[in-house]
A and B are shown apart, each in its own frame.
Chain A
Amino acid sequence: MTQAAVGTQAHISVDEVSKHFGDGGDAVHAFGPTSFEIEAGAFVSLLGPSGCGKSTLLLMIAGLLPVTEGTIHVGGERVRHVRTDVGIMFQDSTLVPWRSVRGNVELQLELRGLSPIIFRERIDELLASVGLADFAHRRPYELSGGMQQRAAFCQAFVHSPPTLLLDEPLGKLDAMTRERIRADLQEQWRRTRPTVLLVTHSIEEAVQLSGKVCLITPRPGRLHGIIDIDLPWPRDAEVKKSPEFVRYVNEIGDIFRGYGVI
C-alpha cells in the first residue's frame, strides 16, 4: 500500500477536499477531507460501498458539484467550473431516444460546436471497435443494456478527451455483459491511454481494470489508502485466475470487512 507519489506529473490532484450538503445543523457530511493524486494516463478506480461519496468526488472533479473545502486541480488548472475537457459516463446512459446510435455519438460533437462530418471516420472506427458497426442506425431503445452502454462509451470518448470519468457505468448490467464491456474498456484505454477515473463498488472490477485502486471508507467517505495493482496487462481471464489477482481481491475485501461493510 502506497500513497500516490508526489512530484510525478499529477494529472488530477485532490487536496484536502470535503463535501457537505446543506448548511448549519442540518448539514450532511458526505465526503472527506481527503487528498490524493493521479498521474496522467493512469487507470484509477474509486472503490467503496454505496453512499460513501465516491460519485460525489467524481462530480466534484468534473466541476459538476462545488467542493465545500479544499481544492482540486485537473491538468494543472484549478477546478472552479464544469470541465469540458472530459468524457463522462453514468450508470444510466446519456443516450437520447430521438437519435440513432451514430446520432447520439454525434450529439457530443454537436453540443461542442464541432462538425460531425470531420469525425466521420473516427466515429466509424470507434463504433466498430466496440462491435456496434452494424447498429449505427438503430435507436437506443432497440439495443440491449450492454450495447447501450457501449454506445454511451463511444459518445463519451468520441472527442478524445484526456480524462474519462466513469460513474458506475456497468452498474445495471448483468455479470456476463459486464465482463465483456470491461474487456472493451481495457482495450480502449490501453490503445490511447487517457486518464480514467472509474467509480465502482465491485472489488473484482477495480482490481481487473486499474493500475491503482483508491479505497474509500464508508460514510463520510475518506481515502483509506491507495493500492497499486501490479498485474500484467491485458487483464484477461488467465490473469483473473492467477493467485496474485485473488490475493488483491482478498486483501481489499479484508479491509472493507474491517469497516463492517461486507
Chain B
Amino acid sequence: MQMGRPVIARFGRLATFPIFLALLILFWERSIDWFSIPRYILQRPSDIVINSAADIPRLAEYTMVTASETLLGFVAALAAGVPLGLAIVTSQLLRRTLYPLCVSLEMVPKIAFAPIFIAWLGFGLLPKIIVVFLVCFFPVVLNAIAGFSSLSEELTRFSATTGASAWRNFWRLRLPAALPQCFVGFKFAAVNATVGATIAEFIGSDRGLGFYIQIQTGNMRPDLAFAAIFVLTLLGLALFGAVTLAERAIIPWDIAQRRIRGRS
C-alpha cells in the first residue's frame, strides 16, 4: 500500500476543513436543544433549510436584485478605476490633483454616503449601484496606480534604448507588468461589493437580500434571515471566484512565479 499513502495524506489535508465545518454545523444543530434556545433567537440549520425552501421564489427574486446591484457596481468600478489609474500615472496634473483626492476619499467610510444617495435618488437600483461602485472603486484605482507605476527602472531604461513608442511600450511592458497589482485591487473590490449592496439595502429599499434580512429579523424569523445571509455569502464567493478564475486565465505566469518564489 505504499502507493496509497500520498493519496491518503492528500485526502487528509483537503478533508480537514470540510470535516471541521460539518462538526461545527452539527454542534449548532444539537446546541439548540442542549441549551434550549428559543426559536425566535436562533434555529437549527436543518430547520433553516426546510423553512427557507418554502420561500425560494422570493429569495430567488431578491437574489437577482442584489446580484445585479453588486455586479453592475463592481463592473462599473473596474471600467472607471483602471483607466483612471492609468491616467493618473500618465499625467502629472492628475497625479497632483486626483491622486491626493483619491487617497483622501479612501479614508472616508463610503457607506456613510449611502443615506444621501438614497435621499437623492430614491429606493431604486441606482443608489445601490452607486454605493457598490464607491466601495469597489478606491481599491481598484489605488492598486491600478501602483500597478501602472510598477515597471522597474531597468525595464524602463531597457525600453528607452529600443526607441519603442509609448504605445508599444504600453502593450508589451507597462500593461502586463501592471496586471498582477490590478488583480489585487479587483479582489479587494469583489470582497467589498456584496457588503456595499447589503448595507445600501438596509438603509432604504423595498427589495433585495439586505431588505429581506431586515424584514425577517423584524418578523422574529432568524431562520429566514440566515438563509439570506447564506445566499449573500455564495454571491460574494461567486464574484471572488470569478475574479480568481479570470486572474488564472489572464496572468497564469504571475501565479506560477508566486508559487516558485513561495517554495524557495
Please give the residue numbers on chain A whose beta carbons come within 8 Å of chain B beta carbons, in ascending order: 59, 62, 64, 82-84, 86-88, 90, 92-94, 96-98, 107-108, 110-113, 139, 141-142
Contact = CB atoms under 8 A, between A and B. Distances in A.
Interface string B204-229: 00000000000000000000000000
Contacts of B160: 64, 82
B257 interface: yes
Interface string B159-173: 111111000110011
Contacts of B169: 111
11 contacts: A59-B157, A62-B161, A82-B160, A84-B162, A96-B173, A98-B253, A107-B172, A111-B169, A111-B172, A113-B168, A141-B260
Nearest to B173: A96
| Interface-centre pick from A94, A110, A113 (highest chain B CB count, 10 A) | A94
A96 B163 contact: no
A94 B257 contact: no
Contacts of A98: 176, 251, 253-254
A113 B161 CA distance: 13
B253 A88 contact: no
Contacts, number: 64
Contacts of A88: 157-158, 161
A43 to B, nearest CB: 20
Interface of B: 152, 154-155, 157-164, 168-169, 172-173, 176-177, 251, 253-254, 256-257, 260-261
Contacts of A96: 155, 173, 176-177
A142 B260 contact: yes
A108 B159 CA distance: 8
Minimum-distance CB pairs A-B, first 9: A111-B162, A111-B164, A84-B163, A94-B158, A90-B154, A141-B257, A82-B160, A98-B253, A98-B176
Contact of A92 (B152, B159, B161, B260): B152
Contact of B261 (A82, A112, A141): A141
Nearest to A161: B161
A94 B164 CA distance: 15
Contact of B154 (A82, A94, A107, A139): A94
A84 B158 CA distance: 10
A86 B163 CA distance: 11
Contacts of B176: 96, 98
Contacts of B172: 107, 110-111
Nearest to B160: A82
B173 A82 contact: no
Nearest to A156: B158
B253 A97 contact: yes
A98 B253 CA distance: 6
A66 to B, nearest CB: 13
Given A94-B154, A94-B155, A96-B176, A112 B162 contact: yes
Contacts of B256: 139, 141
B158 to A, nearest CB: 4
B105 to A, nearest CB: 32
